[in-house]
Amino acid sequence: MEVRGELIRVLGIETSCDETAASVVALDGERAPEIRSNVVLSQIAEHAAFGGVVPEIAARAHVEALDGIVEAALADAGVDLADIDAVAATAGPGLVGGLIVGLMTAKAIAAAAGKPLLAINHLEGHALTARLTDGLVFPYLLLLVSGGHTQIVRVAGVGDYQRWATTIDDALGEAFDKTAKMLGLPYPGGPNVEKAAEKGDAARFAFPRPMKGAAQPDFSFSGLKTAVRQAASAIAPLTDKDVADICASFQAAVADALQDRVRRALERFRSEFPDMKTPALVVAGGVAANRTIKSTLEALCRDAGFRFVAPPLKLCTDNAAMIAWAGIERLSAGLADTEGSFAFVPRSRWPLDGVSAPVVGSGRRGAKA
Ligand code: KG4
Ligand code: ZN
């Protein structure tokens, strides 16, 4: 399918975790891409009582909501299915029940409407978002920090990704969520830990900075979580002041550890692309909302001569515009395997980078991290 220079509109569908989302993104010749609609239904309320995402509840909620969300996305964009050039859906990695719902729905819509289908890697959606929002050119560095992923990826082209670091245990958002749960703060933990930390003393607890200074480029957060648990049980019952101090100290440790890991990656990027005048670091994922983390990374980039790119939060967290956009990028690059997409079976694990060795071991379904 030749798309250069003409109007192309792609319907995106995202159901890999606890957001049911659909979006229409358009690219018209050389003009900047346009998000024509971006509908996201969060399931936070359904999962809150359990302190985390329950896969079965998520899958059921996707089944119930998806048709209406797709209709809303088309209506918001003012288009019919007939106007759509292709359907792009997240096919992994993620919770397999939700992936099945999204990909099957996309297959049915594409088959019924006679449109090409694109099975998209969720991580590719995050990786390419900065080109949709900021028109970024390749190569750049991506820091993805969400509830499910903590990775540094060198993005050199559509389909050209190299993972430079990943977590060897918990994802960063998961560490925030578990810390919140331990302290009796509501789900999702990240925003509540950040709020509590505002009134806290970050110097009260000297929590570890996992992997700081390590030669291995990866992240680790489970030791920090254990240290939080030990500190909390040592002074229980906790006052509001104790909770605030633990949150502030935890956040400071996280920011410090992140800074060390990211600085290392910026240095590597510099040495691999010495001729780039202003290289860029892009952040994505829900944790990028955290102001302490954001300002730490911003300062780091300033010192290292990197441009710091943080797409609007709505497009940093899970959404379908990034999936539609990844579809447009694949079509434009001539990398759309639409026949293979119809045969594609959803993958709970699907590393973006098929080359870098898995850090935590790999199973039948591919690398774990
Ligand atoms: O990207 P996202 O919306 O969903 C996926 O995990 O894919 O990220 C959600 C994660 C949760 O773990 C949540 O606690 C965390 O992002 N989060 C935050 C903040 N807002 C959301 N973590 C730290 N500070 C925040 N302000
Ligand atoms: Zn995500």
Starting from the CA of residue 18, give the closest ligand: 1
Tokens coding 245: 């101090």
CA-284 nearest atom, ligand 1: 1
Mutate to test the pocket of ligand 1, among 144, 179, 317 (most ligand atoms within 8 A of CB): 317
Cβ 317 under 6 angstroms from ligand 1: yes
Tokens coding 64: 């119930």
What is the distance, to the nearest Å, from the Cα of residue 16 to the centroid of all Cα atoms in its chain? 11
pLDDT at 134: 97
pLDDT at 357: 60
pLDDT at 358: 66
Tokens coding 90: 């997240």
pLDDT at 364: 42
- Compute the radius of gyration of the chain from its Cα atoms: 21
Q: How far is the CA of 122 from the centre of ligand 2 (A)?
A: 6
Count CB neighbours of 52 within 10 A.
15
Q: How far is the CA of 275 from the centre of ligand 2 (A)?
A: 32
Using the CB atoms, write b or e for 247-263: b if 16+ within 10 Å. Answer: bbbbbbbbbbbbbbbbe
Tens-digit pLDDT profile for residues 111-163 = 999 999 999 999 999 999 999 999 999 999 999 999 999 999 999 999 999 99
Cβ 189 under 6 angstroms from ligand 1: yes
Tokens coding 192: 């509540």
pLDDT at 3: 58
Contact 289, 15 (CB under 8 A): no
Tens-digit pLDDT profile for residues 309-363 = 999 999 999 999 999 999 999 999 999 998 899 999 999 999 998 777 666 644 4
pLDDT at 4: 58
CA dihedral 282, 286, 289, 293 (to 10 degrees): -70
Splitting the chain (369 residues) into consecutive groups of 10 residues, what average pLDDT does each group show?
A: 76 96 95 96 88 89 96 98 98 96 98 97 96 97 95 97 96 95 93 98 97 97 96 97 98 98 98 96 95 97 98 95 98 92 95 74 42
pLDDT at 39: 97
* Nearest CA-CA partner of 322 in 25, 20, 6, 18: 25
Place of tokens 């009582």: 49
pLDDT at 366: 41
Cα 212 to Cα 359: distance, rounded to the nearest angstrom: 17
Cβ 94 under 6 angstroms from ligand 1: no
pLDDT at 2: 53
Cα 259 to Cα 273: distance, rounded to the nearest angstrom: 21
Instruction: Name the residue with the closest Cα to ligand 1, atom 16.
Output: 286
